[in-house]
Structure 1
Amino acid sequence: MTATLAHILRHPIKGHGREELASVRLVPGEALPWDRTWAVAHQASHFDPEFPAWAPCGNFQRGARTPAVMVIVARWDEEAGLMTLAHPDLGEVSFDPEGDTAPFLDWVAPISPSDARFAPARVVRAPGRAMTDSDWPSVSVLNLASLADLGRQLGADLSIHRWRGNLWLDGLAPWEEEGWVGKELRIGEALLKVRERIGRCKATSANPDTGEIDVDTLRALRESRDGQIFGVYAEVIQGGEIRPADRVEVL
């Protein structure tokens, strides 16, 4: 069976909303366009808005501490500079992430931590640098067959949205991607080099339809795999357009 690209997803505000794309143009040395461009710094964050730079995920509100945010879906209008987020319990909010973000902070407050130290304080960005979990601009690549196999172990139908990945591949053997570090992937017009495997956190235990913890994904990964690993991070080394149904070649 030929491997193909099944889904393209971006998450414009780290931890707050997912958006599926019909196509995207990858750029060498950069993350997926508009993926994790912004993040939500909490009150205890060490992110310095005067000297903005990439910072580890612990400085931001995210699903590991706040599982209810896993339900949020996003729609980013690049031309209008307008972000629209939706949550079944909160409705919709639209705002300019580069302008007045008070409407968003008020909107997300009811599903944010009650501990004031971790309450959302501001929407931030590091110019020219995506707030990926890796300390380099990565694109995450995941395998639908591995997801199905893990779901069988757990006796659950696991959504792709638990993993907040960028590129989901179909037509592979389960867990094949674990042996890709150092290899290159041809996807559509683009070429990516796999650099490392992805260590997972508690956010993956949250159901992205309900925002509630319902399965222990981390224990299942520890018991069946080499640690809490699911998926791989890749670097774009040749840019180009990609779209679902594009052929995937492991070089």
Structure 2
Amino acid sequence: MAKIINLYRYPIKGLSPEPLTEMAVSHGQGLSFDRAFALALGTTRFDPEAPEPLDKGYFLMLRKNEKLAALATRLDPETGTLTIRYRGELVLEAATTNAAGREAIEDFMAAYLGEATEGRPRLVSAADHKFTDVGVVSPVMMKAISVINLASVRALEEATGTSVHPLRFRANIYLDGVPAWAELNWLGREVEIGGVRFRGALPTRRCAAINVNPETATRDANLPKAIMQHFGHADLGIYLEVLSDGVCSVGDAVTVAAAA
């Protein structure tokens, strides 16, 4: 039987995952505090009073900025304080809740990434807005939950003969107990986890972000090419639309409705 192995949220797009033992989700909001902030490029126009979903290329992200993976970050959901460590050393502690703190974060990123920020970066957020990769698809997909089947990761490892860290895929839910690639057959079907109802919505088309090793912050593979070469498609993982409110926990069983 499939069950949840790990849960994560990513408070700031492109920065560190936050491991969870349980996560509360809702139909209206998705996963709270997931991709709630992003670091907009200096050339990006984003109005927090009238937010529009933008392609991830308008923000700092691992596809282009692999150096982000060398930063160990934590954003405290209670205080709004962001801590950044580099090689184990605390290099910044600043509040996201006031202008001075946000400026300190922006200054750090500008100095750390240099010209890659395309001008002064901005830490941005907006009410009821998430900076998810599929936010450009629809408001519903902006609140979707991403899932990785660990058996699919193992199949990729076996095909390539290399170790593939699951966090390359930056999912919310990591599950195990079903065959490799079974998740790609869940489209349009109801999925229940810990009493919460979801629907398989979209396969996750992989991009160059997964070429970045989260442990070394280097590009050491071409995994989208490998997935296509060995399996005939470019997908690994799936997005689930949230149909009901509730809490999912590590160890919860995952059940999938029979295909229509």
Give the TM-score normalised by structure 2.
Answer: 0.89
Distance 1:17 1:226 in 2: 31
Where structure 2 has 5 or more consecutive residues not aligned to the other structure, the ranges are: 136-140
Moved more, 84-93 or 169-178: 84-93
Question: After the TM superposition, which parts of structure 1 deviate over 3 Å for at least 4 consecutive aligned residues?
Answer: 71-74, 89-92
Distance 2:13 2:177 in 1: 29
Partner of residue 225, structure 2: 219
Distance 2:211 2:111 in 1: 21
Q: Name the structure with the higher helix share.
A: 2
- C-alpha change, 1:225 and 1:15, in structure 2 (3 Å) is same
Aligned length: 249
Partner amino acid, structure 2, of 1:107 = F
Specify the SS of the correspondent of 1:134.
helix
Specify the SS of the correspondent of 2:8.
strand
Specify the SS of the correspondent of 1:73.
strand
Partner amino acid, structure 1, of 2:254 = V
Determine if contact 2:83/2:90 at 8 Å carries over to the other structure: no
Partner of residue 141, structure 1: 147
Distance 1:92 1:145 in 2: 37
Distance 1:181 1:21 in 2: 26
Question: Is structure 2 residue 130 aligned with structure 1 residue 130?
Answer: yes
Distance 1:10 1:71 in 2: 18
Determine if contact 1:42/1:60 at 8 Å carries over to the other structure: yes
Determine if contact 2:41/2:121 at 8 Å carries over to the other structure: yes
Give the TM-score normalised by structure 1.
Answer: 0.92
Specify the SS of the correspondent of 1:151.
helix
Summarize the alignment of residues 1-251 of structure 1 with structure 2, pairs less than 5 Å apart: 2-88=1-87, 91-99=90-98, 100-115=101-116, 117=118, 119=119, 121-135=121-135, 136=141, 137-251=143-257
> Percent identity between the aligned chains?
28
Distance 2:177 2:70 in 1: 28
- C-alpha change, 1:127 and 1:202, in structure 2 (3 Å) is same
Specify the SS of the correspondent of 1:198.
strand
- C-alpha change, 1:171 and 1:72, in structure 2 (3 Å) is farther
Where structure 1 has 5 or more consecutive residues not aligned to the other structure, the ranges are: none
CA RMSD of aligned residues (A): 1.8
Residue 43 (structure 1) shift: 1.2
- C-alpha change, 1:243 and 1:96, in structure 2 (3 Å) is same
